[in-house]
Chains A and B, each alone.
Chain A
């Protein structure tokens, strides 16, 4: 489903490969969580539509819009993956936004936060009683690392072992889990900051030099690759919602690489 001008959701006919990999197979007329995922999928589609037109824009336009689009993909993608792995978190947010006292001009504790829902402080002893009092459920936090990413990374390598002709998969097969995870953590953290610099106009050289065509392409490619790779792993996580079957997930992953912006 996607929202039209009057805010009414319309059936999704052409879900982009990125939205498909991140939000999974949408369930028409499903429950609350399906509505959330349909909305996220439509939002990702909207950003993707803009991303593929970047190539035709002027250098100045690219430096102005691309960081914003990159951040949107990063944030929408993380929310979609959280929704599929930990629906409770997103249902809570949805319900909170439905309350009459939810104000658009005020920050809310229920919002998805980069520090807290995506990143979290290091947990030194995962299984100590004290740590388990309020365990972090951050997407790239230490519990997710152990229970989701590490547990499923080799499973993914096994299902892609005979896939050839796909550059991202070839790169993925070069890595053991530790390297993959360290790089992912670092990429998510640096992308978030780097894209912010473009949005907030912090730099002292002209924006079009700092976010020139090549740098922007690299940032967008890195953003899409990182989030899509987590989406690919989610397709082998047994408890994930709206799972794609493996060939579908691999096909979507490959299709993403052919998006015009690269």
Chain B
């Protein structure tokens, strides 16, 4: 039944890939998210922190849509800038400053031209001039200025981050505020920027303990699939709300994971009613086709942290094995262990395998631990029988809000014995030099390129991911069999490969 109403728009996974019309049609913001958006529009520095696919870009884009010039009545001048630029990633110091300032200048000029060149803006690409001109723009427009930096800080790409946060701090004033989207695990903010003193950090994670969790995910389904789901699309005790809520929990509230899961569920059930068997199949599919490939995809992007991927994988295997054996959805890891294994645990948070819920909680076995909840897909793989039964379904939904004690992992656990490798002082982003055949449609790149397109690109001299990323639209469109739709796919696959 679900399949009959699936539409292509449901496949759009990233907010930044949407046209303005699609964006409005596809996005739903809960009460909590509305508050996040308000914080992005309000004056004051904000860092939006969340795992890959958690919806940071959507929040930033929506905030910019609610500011001037898109909203003519707003008292705030909004400037949204995506920092997905290869050259920014490769620059440092003065060169980085010039490039970033130029990006901001270009964006401001674009907005000014949109509104009919009613303001003057003659900034040079340096922080002093830019700051002065933005200040004048605020005075002339009688509006505060908010700059939204999307994709600002990535794990493993920390060289230019101290430059970025210096600029973030220097640009901020009584009329200019900066907001940036960052990922968990970004720890290097430079010497002049203190994460928790120089900005308000908002964790974007959707928490299953909040009210209306199921309803919010059901609303997303209604938005993505324009027709209403008939009541008889679900069998037995299942309803749209509780299935959507369970799928939300399965992917730890991650929006991209949720859309992926629902698309998979639609395909799995075809013309049939959604049942526990379909949910089982979807969760198992996600475990092998979504979560593990994410780890695989991440390795070449991690720079100096690349050696942490193998331990992160082993740690995930160990945690999920133990939790599966004891039928637990969350684990409490002794703080001493969690701190020592912080980087691999951050990588697992980053990929959505786990999500931190309590930073410090008393353990029955003495001491204090950090509590993480586990994605239900990888967990199901590790539960004997690997099947969502009525009992598991009810327990995972936890509609009666019953207390479930987490599995405690202390000194006697396998985790305690894990040794981490030394990190190299410098680490290259391996993805740049990878052969483009890596971008072939696969579990890691479900919307990747066909063999045929890869051959065309190679014949034209694009052998590495970096070469393809740097190619102009024009030169790609000049190639045989590459049209505008193909170009879009090439760009989004390369973006997935290089960015997060």
Contact = CB atoms under 8 A, between A and B. Distances in A.
Contacts of B362: 154, 157-158, 161
A210 to B, nearest CB: 6
Classify the interface of chain A: helix, strand, loop or mixed.
helix
A106 interface: no
Interface string B275-315: 00000000000000000000000000000000000000000
Nearest to B203: A174
B82 to A, nearest CB: 23
Nearest to B45: A190
B118 interface: no
B209 A214 contact: no
A105 interface: no
Interface string B408-427: 00000000000000000000
B32 A174 contact: no
Contact of B357 (A173, A177, A197, A210): A173
B361 A157 contact: yes
Nearest to A171: B203
Interface in A65-86: none
Nearest to A222: B200
A210 B43 contact: yes
Contacts of A157: 358, 360-362
Given A186-B196, A214-B42, A175 B359 contact: yes
A198 to B, nearest CB: 11
B125 interface: no
Interface in A50-95: 59
A183 B195 CA distance: 9
A127 to B, nearest CB: 25
A167 B32 contact: yes
B279 to A, nearest CB: 24
B142 interface: yes
Given A154-B368, A165-B211, A183 B196 contact: yes
Interface string A7-50: 00000000000000000000000000000000000000000000
B210 A174 contact: no
Given A173-B357, A182-B196, A165 B203 contact: no
A205 B175 contact: yes
Given A165-B209, A212-B76, A205 B139 contact: yes
Contacts of A205: 138-139, 142-144, 174-175
B76 A174 contact: no
B38 A210 contact: no
B403 interface: yes
A147 interface: no
- With most chain B CB atoms within 10 A of its CB, the pick from A59, A170, A177, A203 is A170
A170 B196 CA distance: 18
Contacts of A128: none
B58 interface: no
Contact of A210 (B35, B175, B211): B175
Contacts of B76: 209, 212, 214
B38 A170 contact: no
B352 to A, nearest CB: 17
A233 B39 CA distance: 26
Nearest to B358: A173
A67 to B, nearest CB: 12
A262 B38 CA distance: 11
Given A164-B209, A205-B144, A215 B196 contact: no
A12 to B, nearest CB: 31
Contacts of A174: 203, 356-359
Contacts of A167: 32, 210
Give the size range of A's interface with the partner: 35 or more
A203 B358 contact: no
Interface string B163-176: 00000000000110
Contacts of A210: 43, 144, 174-175
B358 A161 contact: yes
A249 B292 CA distance: 44
Interface in A205-232: 205-206, 208-210, 212, 214-215, 217-219, 222
B9 interface: no
A162 B209 CA distance: 10
Interface string B187-220: 0000000101100110100010111000000000
Contacts of B390: none
A186 B360 CA distance: 22
A104 interface: no
Interface string B32-58: 100100110111100000000000000
Given A154-B360, A197-B174, A205-B142, A164 B42 contact: no
Nearest to A202: B174
A157 B360 CA distance: 7
Nearest to B361: A161
Contacts of B139: 204-205
B356 to A, nearest CB: 7
A170 B42 contact: no
A108 interface: no
B475 interface: no
A218 B194 CA distance: 21
A176 interface: yes
Contacts of B360: 154, 157, 176-177
Contacts of B201: 183
Contact of A182 (B174, B197, B209): B197
A122 interface: no
B144 to A, nearest CB: 5
B93 to A, nearest CB: 28
Given A171-B203, A182-B196, A209-B143, A165 B403 contact: no
29 contacts: A157-B360, A164-B209, A164-B401, A165-B211, A170-B207, A173-B359, A174-B359, A175-B359, A176-B360, A177-B360, A203-B174, A203-B175, A204-B139, A204-B174, A205-B174, A205-B175, A209-B75, A209-B143, A209-B144, A210-B43, A212-B42, A212-B75, A212-B76, A214-B42, A215-B42, A215-B43, A215-B44, A217-B42, A218-B38
Interface of B: 32, 35, 38-39, 41-44, 75-76, 138-139, 142-144, 174-175, 194, 196-197, 200-201, 203, 207, 209-211, 356-362, 368, 401, 403
Interface of A: 59, 154, 157-158, 161-162, 164-165, 167, 170-171, 173-177, 179, 182-183, 185-186, 194, 197, 203-206, 208-210, 212, 214-215, 217-219, 222, 262
Given A206-B142, A218-B39, 17 more contacts: A161-B361, A161-B362, A170-B207, A170-B209, A173-B361, A194-B44, A204-B139, A204-B175, A205-B139, A208-B75, A209-B75, A210-B43, A210-B174, A214-B76, A215-B44, A217-B38, A218-B43
